[in-house]
Structure 1
Amino acid sequence: MSNAAAPKGRQLIQGIDASGAFPVEYRFAHAKSGNRRLVVVFANFAAPQDYGWSNGVLDQVRANILWIRDRFDGMNSYYLCKDMDFSLERSVAGLIFKVMRALEITADDVTVWGGSKGGSAALFFGLRYGFRNIVSLVPQFAVGTYVRTVHPQVARFMLGEGVPPENVRAVDAILPDLVRSGTHRSANVYLLSSPQDQQYTSQVEPYLGLFAGYDNFNFIYSESPFITDHTQVTRRNVPALLGLLNLLADGIAPRLGHVRNGYEEPDRDRSGIDAMLAADAVVKDASVFPPPVVTGPAPGGQVPVTGSVFTGLAPGAARVSLWENGRFLANVPVGADGSWVWEPAQWSPGRHLVRLYAADGAGFQSPRTQIEFTAAAAGAAAPSPPVFPSGPALPAAPVVGTPASYQEVPAAGTPFSGFAAGAARVRFREAGIDLGACPVAPDGGWAWHPGRPWLPGPHLVEVVAADHHGVEGPPTGVAFTAVDTSASLGYHVPPGR
């Protein structure tokens, strides 16, 4: 499971739901104090990585939060369609209902939220699928006309090559027709707009009358000389909007006469949602998706500062992604035979530690592999190789994919995995004490669980490969820190991963 911490500290869990026609990427954060409700967040065009409101601003919201990424085949979609194929919309809805089932909640416990493009999506999904609370900030109603005029690449992606006028009209009608039909008049709708929004006259004002007859329609008309454009409308209202989200999370919808306050069960069993998140985890277990193997250069070897070539194997992967100190280096395609080749432009002289992982076509990732080497100018002396006893060839030092060196891991016990070509077994030792061993699969992959918790604090484990005769090769050292926290659901992934 891939985990990250938002800037203000709320843990984000990343996943991909691949059960529908389109893989849907998402982030999830558990509720505070066991709150049972769910906020679904849709992204605007300017959202970093196409995740809206995912910069820590929602940290104080008490509900569970599901951020859905609007990035399908490399393009935005309003969460609706590609080439008028609305199975994309159904894939997004499928993820929401999957999370609801895992949380054991109903549509009455869901708030859909978004601004601009995300505001249109919040209105659409909220009304179409019957979610109780809808918070739509500066939306567009005539979506087809808007993308044709303002975002032509998105228009071609959604409406088809050439952007046929009949498709523009069809998508323009989706949201107004849905509101006009009154299929979910009991929804609590909160719509924010402003006359200072340049889209107000064409994209909001003509459609407000369609909400006549809705039980609880609230129009937040924000007018201020300090609002200068579309994005400023939302920014000027953030404190009040976050307060609204927490009221909805507590079961309080303004203008309702009967409410349930709180809705919290701190000791509630979370195994359903945890199992769903584990199954959808972006980073797969080594037994499912083995980490990539570096076949050259050798660990601890030397490469020229220019003209170096890296080779390896990543069966079943579409690409290999390489990083150093949290900095992205390259995405390298993987051939049909599982091989990959990378030729970096230049290295700075000295030691380097590069981490890499494999990814498949849907975006799922393998555990991490790392390779340490020295870059030297032509003519520089190579470092002396380690000296081992003479005799039969020793097994090579094993590659450890997880945990990565200097990583924080749960003290409750963390699995090790990696690759040991030609070995029969891999053994584990700490401070001279034998911790255990595991067999090596025919493809060289291995995985081991200590079967006990680690003492909180730093650890240095030696991982050693042995052949069928028990002859051991040089060790690979893995330094990590065990953290005693019951809240951890997986590994901390450094920024940029």
Structure 2
Amino acid sequence: MSKAAKNARRVFTGVDASGPVPVEYRFSHARNGNRHLVVVFANSGAPDDYGMSGGVLDKVRSNILWIRDSFDGANSFYLCQGMDFGIEQSVAGLIARVMSALSLTPDECTMIGSSGGGSAALWFGLKYGYRNIVSSVPEFLIGTYVTEALADTARLMMGEVTEEKVRFLDSVLPDLVRSRPNPTANIYLISSPQDEQFTRQVEPFLALLQGYAHFNFIFNDSSLVAGHPKVVAHNVPVIMGLLNLLVDGISPVIGGVRYGYEEPERDTAGIEAYLSATSQVRGVDFPAPVVLMPAAEERLPAHAVRFVGSAPRAVRVSIWENGKFQGSPAVAPDGSWTWLRDKPWGKGRHVVRLFGVDANNFHSERSEVVFTVADPVDAQDPVSVPAQPLALTVTSPGAHQQVPGPVARFAGFAPGAVRVEFQEAGVSLGACPVMADGSWAWESNWAWNEGQHFVEAVAVGAGGNASAWISVPFAVAGSYTVPVPGGYPGARH
């Protein structure tokens, strides 16, 4: 086993939907029963909106809770959306529930983060009474910062960006610090004159922290780094050094300390119950995707590995091999999906795993498909011989036919094909299998909008070969009531 694999931590993913806004998180158990919780807040450049991920904290002995800062596709400083602070309430609730599930107190918790994550560490650490706060190059004037540097974040947090809203967001963190809600917190603020944000976003507010009994200012005066992103990265070793001390109960101030906090036989039932209740994987009522193609253990040419299947309740399918992301095709309203990788597969045996993702980013259980890509030596095998061209015939509806609605039914023939796919205006509508006699039939599970439609269809063979696209112009009569407003995604209104 490699050293990296030995040190890697098992990470659980979940969504806490107890508050006004669902919050995604990752959690890793402490080593040897350590009695501490580290909460990690992300900056705007963090991978996948999780701070200090990718193994940075693998050697930290405590429990670790990473909280994702992604709401409607943008960061929020963990505070608000459209000036509604439901995000803050939800994040605070998540931290409190994890702490309670671990049977910990606020004195056994550390909040850490850099940049926007550093602002969040100060906010939640001070407002909610957590003992330790490690904040690297935070922004105090949040409204000004997001308006000037993070346009998507500004729109998410404020809705319409106005001077009044900017001023209000500029005031929330300084006013909180000034009110001293947690005066005995161990605060470690790390900054640098090499950071262009220092003179405007940090230095003017240091005086507000002087009244805290255990405020520590760590000044990174290295001339080897310049600019906010590089300073953020350069401060990570300092954060790690502090973190290991704080986790062990040692805060670098004058006074008595207790070392250890280890309980190897501690009861983990509480946190296990919480992780189970908020797990991102919803296997019980969210079935795993079904893979119709490739068939199990099928041999295929490198350029003709097309995936076809169904994924009820999902909006997309996430596809992985050897822990590496491969693609995420959308799921049509009827549950069908197809995917063809944009580069050929390497020769040999492939084990591909996939899961469905619903509109709330919950995951299904995993499916697995195993296939083999033939190498050049097998080029003469019958499986690798280029497939013959396919022909597709649509018998219903006829060209420019008016169908009664609300559901249109398509039928025809495609000898030698395994399925027929449908789209309109570039939007995938679904697919259907082809019977042994070459016949096929498909109808939607939604009501079509009244008026003209222009659907395209294509037949696909087992080797990935396809027929020419066929256009099917038709009209839907309007003498019915549409039961589903808007029809299928992409339908005309």
- Same fold by TM-score, threshold 0.5 exceeded? yes
When residues 6 and 23 of structure 1 are mapped into structure 2, their CA distance, relative to the original with a 3 A threshold, is farther
The alignment partner of 1:197 has SS state of coil
- Whether the 8 Å CA contact 1:307–1:346 is kept in 2: the answer is no
Q: Find the partner of 2:195 among 194, 197, 222.
A: 197
The alignment partner of 1:94 has SS state of helix
- Whether the 8 Å CA contact 2:300–2:383 is kept in 1: the answer is no
What are structure 2's unaligned runs of at least 5 residues? 386-493
When residues 297 and 231 of structure 1 are mapped into structure 2, their CA distance, relative to the original with a 3 A threshold, is closer
Q: 1: CA distance between counterparts of 2:65 and 2:5?
A: 14
Superposed counterparts of 1:365-380, under 5 Å: 365-373=363-371
When residues 61 and 329 of structure 1 are mapped into structure 2, their CA distance, relative to the original with a 3 A threshold, is closer
Offset, 1:13: 2.3
Offset, 1:101: 0.9
Between 1:177-186 and 1:351-360, the stretch displaced more is 351-360
The one-letter code of the counterpart of 2:155 is R
2:277 corresponding residue in structure 1: 279
- Whether the 8 Å CA contact 2:187–2:215 is kept in 1: the answer is yes
The alignment partner of 2:8 has SS state of coil
Offset, 1:229: 2.7
1:433 corresponding residue in structure 2: none
Q: 1: CA distance between counterparts of 2:248 and 2:372?
A: 57
Offset, 1:295: 3.1
- Whether the 8 Å CA contact 2:28–2:65 is kept in 1: the answer is yes
1:328 corresponding residue in structure 2: 325
The alignment partner of 1:333 has SS state of coil
2:47 corresponding residue in structure 1: 48
Offset, 1:142: 0.2
2:176 corresponding residue in structure 1: 178
Offset, 1:70: 1.3
Offset, 1:325: 4.5
Between 1:197-206 and 1:337-346, the stretch displaced more is 337-346
When residues 302 and 95 of structure 1 are mapped into structure 2, their CA distance, relative to the original with a 3 A threshold, is same
The one-letter code of the counterpart of 2:361 is G
Offset, 1:30: 1.7
Offset, 1:47: 1.7
1:382 corresponding residue in structure 2: 383
The one-letter code of the counterpart of 1:87 is G
- Whether the 8 Å CA contact 2:41–2:121 is kept in 1: the answer is yes
- Whether the 8 Å CA contact 2:189–2:216 is kept in 1: the answer is yes
The one-letter code of the counterpart of 2:223 is P
Between 1:300-309 and 1:326-335, the stretch displaced more is 300-309
Offset, 1:328: 3.2
The alignment partner of 1:269 has SS state of coil
What are structure 1's unaligned runs of at least 5 residues? 385-497
Between 1:253-262 and 1:197-206, the stretch displaced more is 253-262
Q: 2: CA distance between counterparts of 1:250 and 1:305?
A: 53
The one-letter code of the counterpart of 2:382 is A
The alignment partner of 2:206 has SS state of helix
Offset, 1:8: 4.0
Q: 2: CA distance between counterparts of 1:232 and 1:342?
A: 39
2:138 corresponding residue in structure 1: 139
Q: 2: CA distance between counterparts of 1:348 and 1:249?
A: 46
Q: 1: CA distance between counterparts of 2:162 and 2:380?
A: 63
Offset, 1:206: 0.9
Residue correspondences, number:
378
The alignment partner of 2:327 has SS state of strand
Q: Deviations over 1:80-118 (max 9, x none)?
A: 112222111111111101100110111111110111111
2:480 corresponding residue in structure 1: none
When residues 6 and 183 of structure 1 are mapped into structure 2, their CA distance, relative to the original with a 3 A threshold, is farther
1:78 corresponding residue in structure 2: 77
Larger RCO of the pair (alpha carbons < 8 Å, separation 6+): 1
Superposed counterparts of 1:59-138, under 5 Å: 59-138=58-137
Offset, 1:338: 2.5
Superposed counterparts of 1:341-420, under 5 Å: 341-344=338-341, 347-348=344-345, 353-373=351-371, 381-382=382-383
2:312 corresponding residue in structure 1: 315
Q: 1: CA distance between counterparts of 2:382 and 2:40?
A: 56
The share of aligned pairs that are identical, in percent, is: 54
The one-letter code of the counterpart of 1:69 is R
2:23 corresponding residue in structure 1: 24
- Whether the 8 Å CA contact 1:358–1:366 is kept in 2: the answer is yes
The alignment partner of 2:292 has SS state of strand
When residues 225 and 342 of structure 1 are mapped into structure 2, their CA distance, relative to the original with a 3 A threshold, is closer
Q: 2: CA distance between counterparts of 1:32 and 1:301?
A: 43
Q: 2: CA distance between counterparts of 1:329 and 1:251?
A: 43
Q: 2: CA distance between counterparts of 1:306 and 1:209?
A: 64
Offset, 1:233: 3.7
Offset, 1:380: 6.6
Task: Provide the TM-score with structure 1 as the length reference.
Answer: 0.69
Q: 2: CA distance between counterparts of 1:379 and 1:85?
A: 65
When residues 173 and 315 of structure 1 are mapped into structure 2, their CA distance, relative to the original with a 3 A threshold, is same
Offset, 1:38: 0.8
- Whether the 8 Å CA contact 1:50–1:70 is kept in 2: the answer is yes
The one-letter code of the counterpart of 1:337 is D
The alignment partner of 1:332 has SS state of coil
The one-letter code of the counterpart of 1:288 is D
Q: 1: CA distance between counterparts of 2:135 and 2:262?
A: 26
- Whether the 8 Å CA contact 2:300–2:384 is kept in 1: the answer is no
Q: Find the partner of 2:249 among 248, 251, 254.
A: 251
- Whether the 8 Å CA contact 1:144–1:172 is kept in 2: the answer is yes
Q: Find the partner of 2:224 among 204, 223, 226.
A: 226
- Whether the 8 Å CA contact 2:303–2:345 is kept in 1: the answer is no
Greater Cα radius of gyration, structure 1 or 2: 2
Q: CA RMSD in A?
A: 2.8
The one-letter code of the counterpart of 1:126 is G
When residues 290 and 176 of structure 1 are mapped into structure 2, their CA distance, relative to the original with a 3 A threshold, is same
- Whether the 8 Å CA contact 2:282–2:364 is kept in 1: the answer is yes
The one-letter code of the counterpart of 2:61 is R
- Whether the 8 Å CA contact 1:189–1:217 is kept in 2: the answer is yes
Q: Is 2:300 the partner of 1:295?
A: no
